[in-house]
Structure 1
Amino acid sequence: MKSMNSHRHQTFQKSSVLFFQLGLVLALTITYAMLESYFFKDVVHPPKQEPEATIALVNYPPVIVPKSPVENRTEPNKKQKEIPGIVDIVPNDSPPESTIFDPPTAIEPPVKTSPGNIVEAPDDDDHPLDFFMPLEQAPVFPGCEDLSKEESKLCFSKKIAQFVNKNFNTGLADELNLTGKQRIFVQFVIDKHGKVTDIKTKAPHARLEKETLRVINELPLMKPGMQHLKPVKVLYTLPITFEVQ
């Protein structure tokens, strides 16, 4: 009997210790949860925004905004100068493949130079003799796609003439008091990406050169010239002529 009571007493002691440990663990867990909920508040993160997709640029022909009418400041009896179309379009009978252009150090007025005379411009690493290589495919002006080689060449010259006529500030003739026929000579390169670069101008007046540089620099991006199925730089010479009447 005494032994049984002793066994019960030991079992009770063990159970008390076990219950005490379980209670302590439970109390600590509840305390930790309360402390965590008190000190650490939920951080609300704003919803992630997907980066905006890059919009591809589509090369359309430039939109010409009509110029505002300018007040006529000329004297009543003074006849205002009239300026017809400023670009002379001369038919180019020889194909660009047979055109050879010797690049001068400075632009000199050519004799009877027709717009659209082109030749492949050399890369910086190319040998100078490569400059005279015939061009297989000339650059294409926007709006001249899906045409034959000859039609594309004529379309290019026509588009260039229209662009210059619409954008050139002919009011400079009055401002500079110009008379008679004015000739401007332009040389530029259409690079491997179809962008107009390396523009050089020669004109009777510095402001005419500046205006020509501005207009040519605004030419739209084009389809580059091709040689052996690779894009190449192409050099152009363009005479601009307008006559003040």
Structure 2
Amino acid sequence: AKLGIPEELTLWVTATVNGEDCVGLAWQYLIREFGLDPEAVVIALPSHLGICRGQRGRLEIEICTEGISTHGSQPDRGANAIVAMAPIIQAITRMHGKLSQDHEMLGRGSAAVTGISADSPSFTAIPDGCTIRVDRRLTIGETAQSALEEVQALPEVKAAGAEVRFLEYAEPSWRGLEYPTEKIFPAWETPDDSHVFQAAQSTARRVLGREPRLHRSAFSSHGCATKGLFNIPTIGFGPANEKDSHTVNDQISLAQLQPAMAFYSLFPLVYVG
């Protein structure tokens, strides 16, 4: 009551961890293990004071090639797993430009090779194993299985006899908790006629004194769990420009900080009417 929150409203504020390593993991735990069952979720994300009502999903795919190790002075006696992987890397890049599934708000998905490693007895030996990781962003209409099969069907993958699989996350948190999950995070969209979005629009109008902008996010967030997995109406709103996030110039404009705080304070009251 001291905060001005109506008695019929229960407000939870969550500060979650492991978001970069495995987005949405903390919310999977809160819902499945802690029993949190919210009616609506507001995510504090860098939306430049625009309202976000959907984001692309993402998954991580691992591709492995095998070779035969031999001494680096005699490469013809072996089979280089890195060389076998090279055409696959190029194929993933080409596949990105050919993704056709589109969505009016979220756009198309994407595919990018984001990591590579090799197994070799030493730097003077031919590697007998090579692994790449692919960051695959999913738009609405794409599924994890269809994305996996798309990679498996690449001629370069078949020619190399490469193994393609989803990744699982099981790293311990800072408190040592392990909560394994597949690194598959669905795309999500909250309808523009939903109560949570209408309340967000009304709140933003009152705070900003103008019609709020619809934020088209290129990132993924906990919305892939709250809305993508559990179908809880979700929106995002916050200060800062997404283009600065995860860069050396990551920043929040002080001019946007106060309006964002006002939005978070006012939204619960507008939501309950």
Shorter-chain TM range is: under 0.3
Larger Rg: 1
Does 1 or 2 have the higher relative contact order (CA < 8 Å, sep 6+)? Answer: 2
TM-score for both structures, normalised by structure 2: 0.20
TM-score (normalised: structure 1): 0.22
